[in-house]
Copies of this chain bind each other. A is one copy, B any other.
């Protein structure tokens, strides 16, 4: 750290508590270690593969959007200039294109005015939590393990989370009901449940369709809002269509978080929230939950970048608002990479090693159970000594757990490096297992600063 100019000292213990939260730090740590070991083969990040996107086409997408505004919305050149230049509608300007896309791709029928365009799905989480959670009585239920984005967002807003253990078929709706009852028994309100039904991050597990229906019934009974996050839904290993919770929802239980990070590109930072729930005010007036989210957004980011909306809007318009079709090459890529990774794990990890893993139906992630402590110190040794990166699962358990698990992502590895990557992983696992057996446990090693 070098500093130019003044440098007042602040004390970290007097800053907001979220800054000391290990879950909040884990994302930063993972980004940092990826940049510290640039030559390592990385099964760590949930980043999308870059090989299928041509950034030179950005001006072309921009033009596709301005053409759309001119021809479909009849906007003049001056009006198009304003759309790109000026502050705009808080809820966003590509809501009509998104409404058509989610109808085409997922059969979700949502009025455009019930859509809020957000700075990625992450802002969607913050908006949704901030609107729904009135005070310390309100509690958020999350799966355990759970995506750190939602637990971090909750931590920033001082929202208490209560974990619901996840099994091979996702969370059990009956357990959700039990946890909700337990929360209520201690005088709090189980306000919402966050869930990724398809190929969850970090576990890779999905919820079977009957369980989805069951979960919706339980949520309605328990007066729980379901916050459905679906960044990986396109990337199934088969061609079976998995209905989103939102598409099965008949009574407005689900607030749906959408992302273009994996289906278009993450640098744009464009996501969206489908929030057509009615909000009744004391004077009897009724608004959409989307309108309430927009109020929050006006104080958080004001608008989502017009340039990003234009480029994503251009991609949607240029593909007839059929993003699943536009993603056929990408879908094939992840499918083949996941198949190859599973095959290589079977090939290189001998049964004698005591390692097991799950076989997700799609997505980016799978989980390995290992006989040693797979913490950040182990990750550093893996990167430094073996040139291979992965993610400690313990980062994803809000209440502890996952100490002997690691997450592998197949999304960011070049196909021709998969074999070498799994070889390195096998070497690291072998060494770590032997070291554990020899009694040199990781817990004795200094935890990485």
Contact = CB atoms under 8 A, between A and B. Distances in A.
Contact of A81 (B55, B135, B306): B55
A152 interface: yes
A435 interface: no
B299 A4 contact: no
A333 interface: no
B87 A119 contact: no
A59 interface: yes
Interface in A74-93: 80-90
A440 interface: no
B55 A7 contact: no
Contacts of A3: 111, 114, 276, 278, 288
Interface residues on A, range: 35 or more
A277 interface: yes
A295 interface: yes
Contacts of A114: 3-4
A252 B8 contact: yes
A289 interface: yes
B307 A276 contact: no
A302 B86 CA distance: 23
A383 to B, nearest CB: 19
Interface stretch (A265-273, A321-329, A357-365): A265-273
Contacts of A252: 5-9
Nearest to A287: B1
B299 A149 contact: yes
Interface string A43-56: 00101101001110
Interface stretch (A13-21, A207-215, A234-242, A399-407): A13-21
Which A-B residue pairs are the 4 nearest by beta carbons? A8-B252, A267-B306, A152-B299, A6-B252
